[in-house]
Amino acid sequence: MISLSNARYEEIKQIAVDMFVKYDVTCVPVNGFELATKMGIKIIPYSAFPESKQCLLMKKSEDGFSVEKNIGEWYIYYNDKKDYGRINNTIMHEIGHIVLDHSEDSELAEKEVKFFAKYALVPPVLVHKLKLDNPYDISDIFDVSFEAACYAHSYYKKWLQYGSADYTNYEITLLNLFQSVS
């Protein structure tokens, strides 16, 4: 199984925070649709296509995928029959492929974007700021699925246990960006 280095995890966190700064993301829940729109990415639901085409889209991915049609012209196609939390995670996952500059599918690329989406949707420093100590509250406040909230809660507990005693520069940036969140 492929694993990411600590340095790469740190890079991905910094990329997520830089993206929030660039596109003025300052509140929770983080909305993937709004972010994609600010980034100039076109978002298209599977239901925009006839049934016959929807079957092909589902074969490619049950959740969604991104395509660069021309240089810098990105499209995200997503299954709008899923629940909102899953769809928002899919959109953020695909944004991850774009901002992490992935040119092909690989196990490593998937590992990176899964972490990117988890971190971008539920940054542990914001869980801490809001004093959320269970997956139910995380799911409610960050508008993610309960499953995603459980992963985020587990990651938050690791962040508390193994993280630095002081905030990193990107965590300070996040706290400043999201200062109105309480």
Question: What confidence tens digit (pLDDT) does each residue in 26-42 have?
Answer: 999 999 999 999 999 99
Is 182 a domain residue?
no
pLDDT of residue 143: 93
Partners of 55 in beta bridges: none
Q: pLDDT band at 103, cuts 50/70/90?
A: confident
**CA-CA distance, 179 to 116, in Å (whole number)?**
22
Angstrom CA distances, 85 to 25, 44, 50, 55, 88, stand at 18, 17, 25, 22, 5
pTM of the model: 0.93
Asked if the model's pLDDT at residue 138 lies above 90, the reply is yes
Is 154 a domain residue?
yes
Is 172 a domain residue?
yes
**CA-CA distance, 24 to 172, in Å (whole number)?**
15
Q: Which residues of 10-29 are buried (b: 16+ CB within 10 A; e: fewer)?
A: eebbebbbebbeeeebeebe
pLDDT of residue 25: 96
Is 31 a domain residue?
yes
**CA-CA distance, 7 to 158, in Å (whole number)?**
17
Is 1 a domain residue?
no
Q: Which amino acid is at 168?
A: T
**CA-CA distance, 172 to 127, in Å (whole number)?**
14
Q: Which amino acid is at 79?
A: N
Residue 27 DSSP label: S
pLDDT of residue 72: 85
Ramachandran angles phi, psi of 71, nearest 5° = -60, 120
Is 62 a domain residue?
yes
Question: What confidence tens digit (pLDDT) does each residue in 140-174 have?
Answer: 999 999 999 999 999 999 999 988 889 999 999 99
Is 152 a domain residue?
yes
pLDDT of residue 50: 95
Question: What confidence tens digit (pLDDT) does each residue in 52-98 have?
Answer: 999 999 999 999 999 999 888 999 999 999 999 999 999 999 999 99
Average pLDDT, the chain: 94
Is 120 a domain residue?
yes
pLDDT of residue 102: 83
Give the range of the structural domain holding residue 77, as residue numbers without chain letter. 6-177
The encoded tokens of residue 100 equal 């992490």
Domain count, the chain: 1
